[in-house]
Structure 1
Amino acid sequence: MFTGIVEELGEVTAIETLGDASRFRLRGPLVTEGAGHGDSIAVNGVCLTVVEFGDGEFTADVMDETLKRSSLGALEVGSRVNLERPMAVGGRLGGHIVQGHVDGTGTVLARTPSENWEIVKIALPGELSKYVVEKGSITVDGVSLTVVEAAADYFTISLIPTTLALTTLGIKQPGDPVNLEVDVIAKYVERLLGASHGGNDK
């Protein structure tokens, strides 16, 4: 489990095509401290498994399905990425419960700068709109954020200077894809309510 509090702004240093998958090599000196084979690291909100590690870098295999369903397929050598290690037992839940299981992708529509923050408007897939509410939580590229405005086909977030400086959300431009993970609690509530009313929710 993750919290959506990005620990490090990493970089893609190599991409190797493996037929129906790709192997990414990523630089992240902080998140590789104490890392081991099989450990999990969230990359732009996608939970990946460490294959090899050393010299401040690690590799992770990404299946074709993940590349298609997330924005990882758009990454290139030199791309910056948000990195986070799983929350340790007894650690602080600084953001919200994040599984690292991307629900869909959105697209940055607009950025509106202000004196001390920036409003970012992101297109929202229709099937996810029911899970997004004003003042609710959402994960964008692995960053735990609070929804400012929730519409049927978009939502907005407000980014403080720290988020702009220390995550990829500071450099994303209109047209760029982002990974979205909605609040898992909302999905569980929907499932439970469907079951209690005799629904056949799949």
Structure 2
Amino acid sequence: MFTGIIEEKGTIKQIKQVSEKSIQMTIESANVLEDVQVGDSISINGICLTVTAFSDTSFEVDVMPETMKATSLQMLAEGSNVNLERSMSANGRFGGHFVSGHVDGVGTIVRKEKKENAIYYDVEMPDELAIYFIMKGSVAVDGVSLTVFGISGSTFTLSLIPHTVSETILGDKGKNDIVNIECDMLAKHVKNMLSQQHYDN
């Protein structure tokens, strides 16, 4: 479980092809290595992955075919920056919202516009995800906990403060770039319960 508050930007040091559709990644980082152990979960661009090995400067993760197919990881290369967050601890502050690290789909940035001290992003999402979005609701984009400031059909709007722009990879992204989307967990549970109720009746 994560909060969507990014701890640092890491850099992909190596991508090793394990099989046709699976890879192993080595990621350079600093903060998330402070208390890392093999088996720990780390969110990489909003994707929950397991640490399989680590050193003083980097850690390794395995990426399965399904994860490659369903997320933006397939578009990354050696040297790409990524958002990193360790799983939340029971004695820490909860600054974002409940984020599972299970990506629901990928979206495309269709507009990026600076407005005073904020930067607005319009993100086009898969049509089937639109039901989970409400004004002022929560969404995780590339693992970053954000608030929905506008919805129009299958497009939602985000407003990023300068800190988020500088401390996450979203600041480097622009029009036509791909992002990972994780919808609000509560909305998904409610949708599932209502669907089951309709089926039972």
| Alignment partner, residue 8 of structure 1 | 8
The range that moved more, 31-40 or 156-165, is: 31-40
SS across alignment from 2:9: strand
| Alignment partner, residue 32 of structure 1 | 33
Tell me the CA shift for residue 90 of structure 1.
2.9
Determine whether 1:197 maps to 2:185: no
| Alignment partner, residue 22 of structure 1 | 23
| Alignment partner, residue 129 of structure 1 | 130
Identity of aligned residues (%): 47
Deviations 1:124-167 (A, max 9, x none): 11010000111000000000000010122111100000000000
The alignment covers a number of residue pairs equal to 200
Asked whether the equivalents of residues 30 and 56 of structure 1 are also in contact (C-alpha less than 8 Å), the reply is no
TM-score by length of 2: 0.96
What is the RMSD computed on CA atoms of the aligned residues? 1.2
| Alignment partner, residue 154 of structure 1 | 155
| Alignment partner, residue 177 of structure 1 | 178
Amino acid at match of 1:70: T
1: distance between equivalents of 2:125 and 2:200? 26
Taking a change above 3 Å as real, the CA distance of residues 155 and 199 of structure 1, as seen in their structure-2 partners, is farther
2: distance between equivalents of 1:197 and 1:104? 25
Tell me the CA shift for residue 197 of structure 1.
3.3
1: distance between equivalents of 2:74 and 2:153? 26
* Structure 1 residues 30-109: aligned runs within 5 Å: 30-109=31-110
1: distance between equivalents of 2:177 and 2:200? 37
Asked whether the equivalents of residues 133 and 150 of structure 1 are also in contact (C-alpha less than 8 Å), the reply is yes
Deviations 1:35-75 (A, max 9, x none): 11111000000000001101220010001211111001101
Amino acid at match of 2:169: T
Give unmatched runs, 5+ long, in structure 1: none
Tell me the CA shift for residue 194 of structure 1.
2.4
Tell me the CA shift for residue 93 of structure 1.
1.5
Asked whether the equivalents of residues 124 and 152 of structure 1 are also in contact (C-alpha less than 8 Å), the reply is no
1: distance between equivalents of 2:67 and 2:104? 11
Give unmatched runs, 5+ long, in structure 2: none
SS across alignment from 1:127: helix
Tell me the CA shift for residue 199 of structure 1.
4.7
2: distance between equivalents of 1:191 and 1:119? 31
